[in-house]
Structure 1
Amino acid sequence: MIHIELPLLVGIIALGIACQWLGWRLRIPAIIPLLAAGFGVGPLLGWLHPQELLGDLFFPVVSLSVAVILFEGALTLEFREVRQVRRAVRNLITIGAVITLVLSALASRWLVGLSWPLAILFGALIVVTGPTVIGPLLRNIRPNHQVASVLKWEGILIDPIGALLAVIIFDVIVAEGPGQAWQLSALVTFLRILVIGGVAGAVGGIFVAAALKRYWVPDYLRDIFVLVVVLAAFAISDVLQSESGLLAVTVMGVWLANVGLHQLHDVWHFKERISVLLISGLFILLAANVSRGELALLGLGSFVLLAVVIFVVRPVSVFASTIGSRLSRNERLFLSWVAPRGIVAASVSSLFAFRLQELGYQEAELLAPLTFLVIVGTVLIHGSTSKWWARRLGVAEAEPQGFLLLGATPFSRMLAEVLKGEGFRTLLVDSNRHNVRLAQLQGLEVEHGNLLSSIVQEELDLGGIGRLLALTSNDEANALACLQYRGVFGSDEVYQLPPDVEGEPDNGPAYAAGTMGRLLFGPDVTFDRIDFVVDRGAQVKATPLTEEFPYEAYQAQWGDRAIPLLMIRGKEVVVATVEAPLQPRPGWKLVSLVTEA
């Protein structure tokens, strides 16, 4: 006989993955359908009761899941990046974070009646604007490069900083105890949490770094090895001193992010392989665990608090942080409107609420639903209005004309140099480190990684970019990239090289099956042909066409030694495709791959 728990667990996983797919399909943060599904099967329909389902394992499962999420976020905090980003970002993650914490704490104290300790903790929880919600919004809104860069880096860097801040404040509350004045014993407990959590995290980081640097662990075990050490550091730290485990995994993540591990990029796949399943199940469990009684606690004051967070706290934080910056007034107004909360706030608030209620803070039952209200409210309001607001303020790029190039091969680099010289933003992505280094030496903007990876997709800044050219030797990768980025650029602005198959393109099903984008340049202009002519000295050149030197004269001069690629007039671009060959006219610049005689 199959117990009811088994189909419930499978159903949670299946529902979570379905919500992830729906978020991808609708181009919205997955947290929206995940929380909606959780509230639906939990407090609204009463089908799922997580604490009854998991029993005594519920709290350990949530704790370990949150530990992994915090570790993953901390892995992105490289100190050199904090130093390198523009002053506005540094101010937002420091001055802005403090302003957000203080104003949110005051508002929750006066409007909802939280005690000062919980009000300060709530303020710390909503400091975080994570990249998992910012990324989809930026891809949909397409703001200018400067605004997109600020929002992207704020989301990445504030994630671990805000989580660490919330953990420290939580540890202070735990050390103090409910209804107690600050005493020497509370100070000792807090110091024990800091020391044990910090030491456990540092030791775990040192151990993992040494194991990876010395190749003690084979590649196929590396991700699982890191996961096990993270969980071990959390458990050991928490056993030695209650509530120090979250600090330990955060310190461990920050340590590993800053020790110069060249394997760190591979460790990031840890997030890709684990977090989708983990987050999918966790958020349904957390939302379903909120009772109708807790939702009923959200009175008028809670919704006024949400309005204060959106209309007062964020604008004050942004304008104070951007004093003296190069951002225009409209850019600052737009930044003031975009601050959706996400995964860290939801998961950590739920965990803290459980623990604080166990410790005697009865009002902590309001912490999770109040945080969920801010998350859902900010994501829905910002997500539905930001595109309109960006266009109204003139910070959205109506028709971005830049190029995302898959592959940093010699041909791609030559093409990128010409396009950059014509004033177009070009971004190359390649998983080959040698190609990436050569592109960097040429002064090109390039990212190392797999364009199909969710990690790379989250971190890419696509401001100013309006099309994809898939130019690798791998026809399948080119097709999948076009399929993936149809939703970003539209199906008319994703291009790939013609697949290298036998026979004519119109006659073979293999040709059509290998294409997901518009076919570039010409039916026979495959990667192999391009590579062949480049090896023999072909160059990408831009040639102005005039009344005195029209396209017919250009053809007479170069003949078959020129492969037309695209043509440019000002900021207008037309890309050559199989179904729409170029028809260059005077006044345009013709960009071709030219082989000298």
Structure 2
Amino acid sequence: MDTNGFIFLAGILLLVSILASSFTVRVGLPLLLVFLGMGMLAGEEGIGGLNFDNTDMSFFVGNLALAVILLDGGMQTQTSTFRVALWPSLSLATLGVVFTTASVGTFAAWLLDVKLIYGLLLGAIVGSTDAAAVFSLLRNSGVKLNERVGGTLEIESGANDPMAILLVVMLTGLMQSAEPLSVMAFLGQMVQQFALGIAFGLLGGRLLLMVLRRVPLIEGLYALLIISFGLAVFAGVNMLGGSGFLAVYLVGLTVGNGRIKQLDAISQVMDGLAWLAQAGMFLLLGLLVTPSSLLTHGLQAVAIAAFLIFVARPLAVFVCLLPFDFRWPERLYISWVGLRGAVPIVLALYPVIAGLTNAELLFEITFTVVLISLLLQGSTVPHMARWLKIVVPPAPAPTTRYALINDETRPALELYEFVVQAEGIRIPGSILQNVPSETVSTPQLVSLVRDHQPKVVNASTLLQPEDRIWMLLHPSDVNDVAQIFSQQASGSFLLQNFFGEFAVRGDAPLIDLAKVYGVPLDDLDPAETAAELLQRKLGKSVVVGDRVRFGNLRLTVRQMNGNQIESIGLKLQSKSP
């Protein structure tokens, strides 16, 4: 095929895949499955008839795409989630991968009647969750998870690749040589991978932030600067013997949580590049596989996938999360969203490139496991969240924001647009009186837009639903202003049913609530507050949506400020005496 023919085919494949994605959203299938399927259709046994078997090119493109995806995923992860999700995520990203490898490897060795080390290699290949699949599905599922669950899944998927790669590389090397496995050598390699990845990832992120703040560029070049810097860190850390995947994720995390003026424009471009990387990678991996070969060991592959989904992953999650404050529905959901995607397929190329015996069998089984995971788990992500009741109603938020002052030397100042959902609010008095600003200057109204026309504002102006308000704010005031403009939405059935009909401050004395709602006063500490009760019963890692029973009341955390509970929802479970 000549150059023009290749470009034409690639463009058609991308175009059809993107257009077909609108259909998959309606039927609830993962978007990534479309790109994988289009690659298979264009392959040698599909309608395209393209014979592609270049494993080296697939391996190169897969690693390149994963680096871009992890960089973008890090930029979209908020460091505030580390408060409740860091240690559980690291437990799953290390011990969880080892447990999954051991259990799946043992089962696969028995089922396929092969040596244990061969089964363990297959277990290591499918042992890690996939960042591309997890990031994509969680952010496009239409449901909002509580911070503890969502943060754990995202951080785990971004941090578990080093352990899986280390296991695959070491097991592949053992199968190529007759030397026994050295536990100390394995532990040394693991420490080196994580240490270099963390060190250079954080240092690289801080250096990139300095460059972004000090070097003026055309706006469209900032995202390319981040991509090029991230890829350089990724490759450099790999050459030093560290984990480039962990390093590039931390570079994105540092930049995404840094205060840079161009972050909104950068994020939009980065999101598009990440989608292009995912599409290209899955199309290429789909081209690489021969569909008929998947049927040769199809039953064994289905059995291994079922064991992984219903036995190995749940056991690993339950064991790794035992020391942490997770409810049983949350543990079940985390075990269910152990999505497999491009990472296992790319890892399955290691033994193929190394020339191991029956390496094609490993690749075919891995590909089938990924297909089943995306079809079964990927299509049920939002449904399982609703069924297990771990969905949190989305908090009111501005529709648009622009950073005006965003550096480390001065307080941040940004321009926000809010869509009004409440009636009867006067401008500007009631807004400014209801915002407990702790910053130097109070929120400033910039414009009121109604029916696409700017309106003159005075003390008698009343807001109407669908009005658009532009305000100049410090980020610390955004939540309070958003609550004011969505008072009507906060009274909806969904929010009332979840948080309750009433709300109180976290420092409200428990004894006062007990007197008002008829809760027995026995054994109540007069000095204890509602927030202290929640933290005492729920532990330190409290997030929005956590709840406890207090007499005939259900108390639900409604708003957090760091580690402090600011607002609590009250719902009457039965009539007061």
TM-score (structure 2 length as normaliser): 0.60
**In the alignment, which residue of structure 2 is the partner of 1:277?**
276
State the distance in 1 between where 2:189 and 2:490 align. Answer: 65
Instruction: Tell me by how many angstroms 1:500 deviates.
Output: 2.8
- The C-alpha deviation readout for 1:176-203, integer Å capped at 9, x for no partner, is 561432589x969969995988887677
**In the alignment, which residue of structure 2 is the partner of 1:405?**
396
**In the alignment, which residue of structure 1 is the partner of 2:557?**
none
Q: Select the residue among 165, 168, 183 that pairs with 1:167.
A: 165
State the distance in 2 between where 1:332 and 1:78 align. Answer: 22
- The C-alpha deviation readout for 1:280-319, integer Å capped at 9, x for no partner, is 1220110121124641443422211111112212322333
Amino acid at match of 1:361: L
Secondary structure, counterpart of 2:294 in structure 1: helix
Amino acid at match of 1:119: L
Deviates more, 1:33-42 or 1:120-129: 120-129
State the distance in 1 between where 2:326 and 2:293 align. Answer: 42
Alignment of 1:204-219 (within 5 A): 205=205, 207-215=207-215, 217-219=217-219
Alignment of 1:119-518 (within 5 A): 119-120=120-121, 122-123=123-124, 125-128=126-129, 130=131, 132-133=133-134, 136=137, 142=143, 148-173=146-171, 176=174, 178-182=176-180, 194=193, 205=205, 207-215=207-215, 217-234=217-234, 247-255=243-251, 257-258=253-254, 261-263=258-260, 265-266=263-264, 267-292=266-291, 294-323=293-322, 327-336=326-335, 338-342=336-340, 345-346=341-342, 348-383=343-378, 395=389, 402=393, 404-407=395-398, 430-432=400-402, 499-501=451-453
The answer to whether structure 1 residue 36 and structure 2 residue 40 are counterparts is: no
The runs of 5 or more residues in structure 1 that have no matched partner are 408-428, 442-446, 452-466, 472-495, 504-519, 532-538, 543-562, 575-597
Secondary structure, counterpart of 2:100 in structure 1: helix
Secondary structure, counterpart of 2:176 in structure 1: coil
Amino acid at match of 1:254: L
Q: 1:82 to 1:65 in 2, by over 3 A?
A: same
State the distance in 2 between where 1:175 and 1:564 align. Answer: 62
Q: 1:215 to 1:30 in 2, by over 3 A?
A: same
State the distance in 2 between where 1:205 and 1:390 align. Answer: 34
State the distance in 2 between where 1:72 and 1:215 align. Answer: 21
Amino acid at match of 1:116: I
**In the alignment, which residue of structure 2 is the partner of 1:111?**
111
**In the alignment, which residue of structure 2 is the partner of 1:457?**
none
Amino acid at match of 1:358: I
Percent of counterpart pairs with the same letter? 19
Q: 1:328 to 1:166 in 2, by over 3 A?
A: closer
Secondary structure, counterpart of 1:85 in structure 2: helix
Deviates more, 1:87-96 or 1:6-15: 87-96
Q: 1:335 to 1:226 in 2, by over 3 A?
A: closer
Instruction: Tell me by how many angstroms 1:499 deviates.
Output: 2.3
Secondary structure, counterpart of 2:8 in structure 1: helix
Instruction: Tell me by how many angstroms 1:56 deviates.
Output: 7.5
What is the RMSD of the two structures over their aligned residues, measured on CA atoms? 5.2
Aligned length: 445
Q: 1:388 to 1:219 in 2, by over 3 A?
A: closer
- The C-alpha deviation readout for 1:536-591, integer Å capped at 9, x for no partner, is xxx9999xxxxxxxxxxxxxxxxxxxx995795987879xxxxxxxxxxxxxxxxx
State the distance in 2 between where 1:296 and 1:308 align. Answer: 19
Instruction: Tell me by how many angstroms 1:154 deviates.
Output: 2.4
State the distance in 2 between where 1:106 and 1:449 align. Answer: 55
State the distance in 1 between where 2:103 and 2:417 align. Answer: 41
State the distance in 1 between where 2:181 and 2:11 align. Answer: 48
Instruction: Tell me by how many angstroms 1:133 deviates.
Output: 4.2
State the distance in 1 between where 2:132 and 2:57 align. Answer: 30
State the distance in 2 between where 1:199 and 1:289 align. Answer: 36
Secondary structure, counterpart of 2:396 in structure 1: strand
Q: 1:86 to 1:254 in 2, by over 3 A?
A: closer
Amino acid at match of 1:104: V
Instruction: Tell me by how many angstroms 1:329 deviates.
Output: 4.2
State the distance in 2 between where 1:72 and 1:49 align. Answer: 31
Instruction: Tell me by how many angstroms 1:274 deviates.
Output: 0.7
